[in-house]
Structure 1
Amino acid sequence: MWIVALLVYLLAVFHRSSLAVAGLTAAERFDISAAQLATFTMLQLLVYAAMQIPVGLLVDRFGPRRVLLTGALTLTLAQAGFAFADSYPLALVARLFVGMGDAMTFICVLRLVNTWFAPRRIPLITQLTGMVGQLGGALAAVPMTIALRELGWTRSYLIAASFGIVLSLALVLVVRDVPGGRSVRGPAMSVTRIRASLTASWQQPGTRLGFWTHFSTQFSATTLALLWGYPFFVQGEGLSDHTAGLLLTLMVGVMVVAGPVLGLIIPRHPWHRSSIVLGIVGSIVTVWTAVLAWPGEAPLGLLIALVVVAGIGGPASMIGFDLGRTSNPSDRMASATGIINQGGFIASLLLVVAIGLILDWRTPGGGSDYTPTAFRWAMSFQYVLWALGILQIWRYRVRTRRKIMAENPEEYGRVPL
């Protein structure tokens, strides 16, 4: 049951990332600028982030199985539409629905994990879920690059869409909401109850700490994987198409390995979760600084270090969900998870758009022949997001610990944070 749900999430990550290695091809196919190319990912991320809270409420009302099936079918139809899109507006509509279907997967899988596994195993299973899901990014790197070169745009995206049909059938046959029943339905929620649940979740400092953890750790890897990594490595650092694809695949491989490691560390050192996050963010900032400050093209070893530390940031963002889980009662888990899951995608959305705008600004004569200098300017926008995220993590971890001291002083030093 978990494997089938997990494969649906993996497929969602694949569809989400499938434009990463096709960015330059898409720019030529639709004759668009960097800002217009970034709009694909911007729209996809905007829809994803905006739907997190509504999807959480839908899961509470209709159960994860129904919502997950709706997401799988939406992704299948959207990717098929993207395959046939021959104009920029049609392609935008297709990516909008890709974002919509993608938004319906992860929260559903997390709910199934929380229902089917013992509480002590949830942190590890959550990391394993994220780890396996990120393999979709690997499948969207080198294999998709080869498919686009050998099969062309339409056939490549149609083949990708076809996997959704198989998984939708498996989902119907295998997945159950709870051990005792195939599907569950929650009570209808009034506007008053929804507002009260969201307000209570947001007022909890642990939820905000989870939000800013997700915000700060994820955006660098997400931006590289979804759109700008391939152009940055090829045009900004002078690598070949093949090497750029391998670097993006390596980054996904790091996510796969780092996820279970963090899943084992966090339950053993729960009080130090925010400290672990700050250490990981600091490592990402340090390596990016070395790459951007390097005179000329950075050496391959340094670029490998970059994708390694950025890749660790992916599973590190999952720590935000654990912070939300231990800071909210079970009846607010969906709303808290939805709020936290917005963080990284809001940051990624801001970065994707900013990079496109800065590249157009710093590229003489326009077009898609971006210079290394233009990429250095564009990638430097990350420092704005890192500064904000680190400040807020520190701020809300202090508030969360202060709240525990006031309400349960005997628990201070033992309650997970």
Structure 2
Amino acid sequence: MRLPAGRRSANGAQRRTPARRRTAGTAASRAAAEPAEAGAPAAPVTHRPAAEPPGGARAWLVWGTAVAVYFAAMFHRNGMSAAALMAQERFDTGATLLSMLPVLQLAVYVACQIPGGVLADRLGPRGSLLIGLAAMVGGTALFAVAPTIQAAIAGRILIGFGDALVFLNVIRLGALWFPRREYAVVSALTGLVGGLGQVASVAPLSALLRNLGWTPAFLAASGVTSALLVLVLILVRDRPAGFPAPGRAERISVRASLAEALRARGPRVGMAHHAAAMTSYTMLAVLWGYPLLEQGLGLDPGTAGALFTGAALAPMALVPFLARLTGARPGLRRPLALTLTWTVSLGWLAVVAWPGGLPPLWATGTVIVLSAAGSVIAPSLSFDYARDGMPAQRTGVAAALVNMCGFATVVVATIAAGALLDAQDGPTGGEAFQVAFTPMAAMLLAATAVLTALLWRYPRAGTGRP
């Protein structure tokens, strides 16, 4: 007996459903595997592992131990700002050679970004952190007892190598131990703790140097870092028990990875934003902030340290909030990025162009606070843009390029400031710092202009339209 047409159609629909599901699944898998068009937001990856990491107390313990290493790395990276004037007397050197201490450290940090990523892939986060900590312990101890500027430079180079292995692996531990819904907050907290390490390198280290002297202060820092190495050895594991190592992504050459990242507009936006937003305060933190306040504005050491610390602390409360906000509303990235970078750039232009010397303390202090805000907010936006237009399994090179661009700008600005101060017989007053900081202000404006051009018709997140 023939079935009615309606029944036959219903059965046919039921029989065809699996085929449609297979077709849809194939299309989704194909879309996830293909790279997104350069300049457009990357398509979301539809494949998910069978189970996400559980998070919980054990995850917070592992991340807390690792992020303490990042705190220490930031402390070591920026310690020269508080020690700059004492180092100049200890090693009897000019501002140009003195600037080589943090500059070479940052240069090594920049150069080791991509090799550090390869090392992390082979050894895992725990092994990479242990190597980085060992390098920082040895470098800080050498810096503490260095009899000459050459030995001090060697110590800072070791610190730079160790520092280069830290941030990437702390972020990776967050991804391996926490479920996806908690990862954005963990990433924001990682940046926040790093900012606190940057703050701790100024006033506390300045107090240690004044009360204990050069060698005991830096040997104490080396001892604390040694204790962190032991904690990582005992407490940190690469992933929760029962979770296998992630599968290997398709390997392409380093050259092909760099070309792929530079073709996509997202990483280029991230590079310009990082250079415009984080350069000024990072340059102050690694060397010239403390001399600017003390010799440029005439503050006593205690007041200078307190002001610099307060300037960094003020915007930190915004970081988790902004991470949640831009994560929920990606369309806010462009106005926030442009507002922040133009404000900082024009602020420093006003500082270097102010007639008759540096602006009053309230005005210069405001620009420093804005620069600190740019520095702590920059990573969440810069590295978010770096993922746009990139296959999910190859965003590491794009992130390395963003980091390298920002810190390369810091290196150039720091060297230029030292050379210009030397040309004026040292940091002798406000006008000398205005001249010395002019190249930095010019680079900020150039990076902000490039960022504006790249974002002019940048696709809105999730729409593909400008």
State TM-score, norm by structure 1: 0.90
Structure 2 vs 1, CA of residues 139 and 126 (structure 1 numbering), >3 Å: closer, same or farther? same
Q: 2:146 aligns with which of 77, 85, 97?
A: 85
The CA deviation string for residues 113-139 of structure 1, in whole angstroms up to 9 with x for no partner, is: 233334344333222111111111222
After TM superposition, the structure 1 stretch with the greater mean CA deviation from structure 2, 202-211 or 252-261, is 252-261
Which range is displaced more, 308-317 or 147-156?
A: 308-317
Identity among equivalent positions (%) equals 33
Return 231-240 or 197-206, whichever deviates more: 197-206
Gaps of 5+ in 2: 1-61
Matches within 5 A, 1:317-332: 317-318=378-379, 319-332=381-394
Of 378, 394, 397, the residue aligned with 2:455 is 397
For the aligned residues, what is the CA RMSD?
2.3
The letter for the 2-side match of 1:335 is V
Encode CA deviations 1:81-129: one digit per residue, 9 max, x unaligned.
Answer: 1000010110011111111111110111122223333434433322211
Query: Residue 253 of structure 2: SS of its match in structure 1?
Result: helix
Question: In the TM superposition, what whole-angstrom CA distance separates every residue of 1:144-197 from its partner, at most 9, and x where no partner exists?
Answer: 11111111100000001111111111112222222246995976997x533333
* 2:312 aligned partner: 252
1:262 CA displacement:
2.0
Query: Which residue of the partner structure matches residue 434 of structure 2?
Result: 376
Task: Verify the 8 A CA contact 1:210 1:321 in the aligned structure 2.
Answer: yes
Name 2:17's counterpart in structure 1: none
Measured in 2, the distance between the counterparts of 1:371 and 1:104 equals 38
Q: Which one of the candidate residues 104, 126, 141 is aligned to 1:65?
A: 126
Answering whether residue 237 of structure 2 is matched by residue 176 of structure 1, we say: yes
Correspondence for 2:464 among 396, 412, 415: 412
2:222 paired with 1:161: yes
Say whether residues 1:199 and 2:199 are aligned partners. no
Q: Report if the CA contact (8 A) 1:26-1:37 is conserved.
A: yes
Question: CA offsets per residue over residues 255-300 of structure 1, 9 Å max, x none?
Answer: 5223223212211331231321111112212333443315445333
Q: Is the 8 A contact 2:195 2:376 kept in 1?
A: no
User: Structure 1 residues 76 and 188 mapped into 2: Cα distance closer, same or farther (>3 Å)?
Assistant: farther
Q: In 2 relative to 1, CA 18–328 (structure 1 residues): closer, same or farther, beyond 3 Å?
A: same
For the residue of structure 2 that corresponds to 1:385, the secondary structure is helix
Q: What is the Cα deviation at residue 351 of structure 1?
A: 0.5
Is 1:39 the counterpart of 2:100? The answer is yes
Secondary structure of the residue aligned to 1:411 is coil
CA distance 1:121–1:396, shift in 2 (3 Å): farther
Residue of structure 1 in register with 2:54 after alignment:
none
The alignment partner of 1:317 has SS state of: helix
Asked if the contact 2:341–2:374 (Cα under 8 Å) also holds between the matched residues in 1, the reply is yes
Change (3 A) 1:183 1:310: farther
CA offset at residue 326 of structure 1?
A: 4.3
Corresponding residue SS for 2:415: helix
Question: Structure 1's 185 and 151: CA in aligned 2 closer, same or farther, altered over 3 A?
Answer: farther
- 1:324-359 per-residue CA deviation (whole Å, 9 max, x = no partner) reads 234423321222221111121011101000101111
Which 10-residue stretch deviates more, 104-113 or 221-230? 104-113
Residues 389, 297 of structure 1: alpha-carbon distance in 2 compared, 3 angstrom cutoff: closer
Runs of 5+ in structure 1 lacking a partner? 405-409
Deviates most, 252-261 or 151-160 = 252-261
Q: How does 1:304-315 map to 2 (within 5 A)?
A: 304-315=365-376
Deviates more, 1:88-97 or 1:369-378: 369-378
Is the CA contact 1:177–1:183 (under 8 Å) kept in the aligned structure 2? no
